[in-house]
Amino acid sequence: MTPRRTRIIGFVAFAAFVAFVAVLPAFISDFKARDYSYVGIYLIALLGLNILTGYTGQISLGHGAFMAIGGYTTAILMAGNEQFGGPISGGMKDVWTLPIAGLVAGLVGLAFGLPALRLSGLYLALATFAIAVAMPSTVKRFEEFTGGGSGIQLFGTPELTGSISNVEIFGWSMTPNDWMYYLAWSIALVAFAAAWVILRGRTGRAFRAVRDSETAAVSSGVSLARYKTLAFGISAAYAGVAGGLFAIASAFVNPDAFPVALSIYLLVGIVVGGLGGLSGLVFGAIFIAFLPLWAQGQDLGSLLPGAIIEETQKPGGPAIVYGIVLILLMFVIPNGVSGLFRRIGQLISSRRYSRAR
């Protein structure tokens, strides 16, 4: 397929996906809309992580921490921290906190990108892992700023749009769950398009050059320092926005809401979705949002054989099912869902090519 043709197909597919996302709530129960809003939230974080890991080749085991920064920024701007003895009075409407959440996390990401320049491969992975591990304790340490272990409650505050009552927007009334869904997905789709724009041009080429060979990239005039820090900054900003949305969706933040496991799940998400691809990330996000639930024999998991469901009800059971599914997936689609699509696309186009001959 010619680049032009694939681009047109891409646009059409994206437009179709947007339309699909827009009408979906009409076909599902009110609560499912809330469940799917988490898919949108994880998608944003995965897009950011894939820019860093999939495209620039810098492994981060600490993106949960950037989500925490975004989440806490949003929560503190909304509810304030005066009640714990902090300086911020809060009172900002939830939606407006999101750009700030992205900005704050992005700046921290940029700052982290600087020392990260000196580290590569495993050492960078360890350094990022360290921030994920340190995050809960850091949050608790600055109790007067963050509310410590008890966290910050957002449910029922006037800053949270639609705690229990319907949301009126442009003369249109929707349930709080539908509101959450549209908020998360409209940001996710914009984030998706933005990632595409960033990655298709000069910047994206530079990212990939850094990933494929640092030496070759430098000798072609790509500044390693500039592009590595940039990738960290963009990636962290994405995670920050996702974290802010996560705080709004949960209406609660607490250090344990951003555990080390979250960072690992995000990495699992981009591997399942496919490193260095964007479209597959939707599946990575579904994987993160729903597999823990399915692994308990709930929702889709209820379709599992009864004997397995019985096992999932036992202590530790869900974790075992989760692990088995992950291992199987990596056997079947080692390059993730994006890789699978690429394979299918190649098969189709090579057949067409041979037929044309």
| Contact residue for other proteins among 96, 123, 155, 353 (CB under 8 A) | 155
Nearer to other proteins, 121 or 149 (CB): 149
Q: Find the part of the chain contacting other proteins (CB under 8 A) among 95-103, 108-116, 155-163, 228-236.
A: 155-163
Angle between helices 281-294 and 30-50 (to 10 degrees): 130
Question: Nearest approach, Cβ of 330 to other proteins (angstroms)?
Answer: 19
Cβ neighbourhood burial of 332 (10 Å; 0-12, 13-18, 19+): exposed
Nearer to other proteins, 212 or 256 (CB): 256
> In the window 263-302, what residues touch other proteins (CB under 8 A)?
276-280, 282-283, 286, 292, 296, 298-300, 302
Handedness of CA 229, 230, 234, 240 (dihedral sign): positive
Nearer to other proteins, 27 or 170 (CB): 27
How far apart CA 148 and CA 41 sit, in angstroms, is 24
> In the window 59-118, what residues touch other proteins (CB under 8 A)?
none
Nearer to other proteins, 158 or 171 (CB): 158
Question: Nearest approach, Cβ of 211 to other proteins (angstroms)?
Answer: 14
Question: Nearest approach, Cβ of 295 to other proteins (angstroms)?
Answer: 8
Site track for other proteins across 10-49, x = CB under 8 A? x-xxx-xx--x---x--xxxxxx-xxx-x-----------
Nearer to other proteins, 155 or 353 (CB): 155
Q: Which residue has the tokens 């709080």?
A: 176
Q: Find the part of the chain contacting other proteins (CB under 8 A) among 88-96, 100-108, 213-221, 250-258.
A: 250-258
Q: Does 164 bind other proteins (CB under 8 A)?
A: yes
| Contact residue for other proteins among 87, 156, 171, 305 (CB under 8 A) | 156
| Contact residue for other proteins among 93, 126, 200, 352 (CB under 8 A) | 200
How far apart CA 129 and CA 62 sit, in angstroms, is 5
Question: Nearest approach, Cβ of 312 to other proteins (angstroms)?
Answer: 8
Nearer to other proteins, 150 or 166 (CB): 150
Contacts of 134 (CB under 8 A, 6+ apart): 65
> In the window 178-197, what residues touch other proteins (CB under 8 A)?
196
> In the window 307-346, what residues touch other proteins (CB under 8 A)?
313-319, 337-338, 341-342, 344-345
Site track for other proteins across 113-152, x = CB under 8 A? --------------------x--xx--x--------xxx-
Size of the site for other proteins (CB under 8 A): 77
| Contact residue for other proteins among 174, 199, 241, 333 (CB under 8 A) | 199
How far apart CA 157 and CA 79 sit, in angstroms, is 7
Nearer to other proteins, 140 or 226 (CB): 140
Nearer to other proteins, 9 or 327 (CB): 9
One-letter-per-residue 3-state SS of the chain: CCHHHHHHHHHHHHHHHHHHHHHHHHHCCHHHHHHHHHHHHHHHHHHHHHHHHHHCCCCCCCHHHHHHHHHHHHHHHHHCCHHHCCCCCCCCCHHHHHHHHHHHHHHHHHHHHHHHCCCCCHHHHHHHHHHHHHHHHHHHHCHHHHCHHHCEECCCCCCCCCCCCCEEECCEEECHHHHHHHHHHHHHHHHHHHHHHHHHCHHHHHHHHHHHCHHHHHHCCCCHHHHHHHHHHHHHHHHHHHHHHHHHHHCEECHHHCCHHHHHHHHHHHHHHCCCCCCCHHHHHHHHHHHHHHCCCCHHHHHCCHHHHHHHCCCCHHHHHHHHHHHHHHHHCCCHHHHHHHHHHHHHHHHHHHHHC
Q: Find the part of the chain contacting other proteins (CB under 8 A) among 94-102, 115-123, 183-191, 257-265.
A: 257-265
Question: Nearest approach, Cβ of 1 to other proteins (angstroms)?
Answer: 10
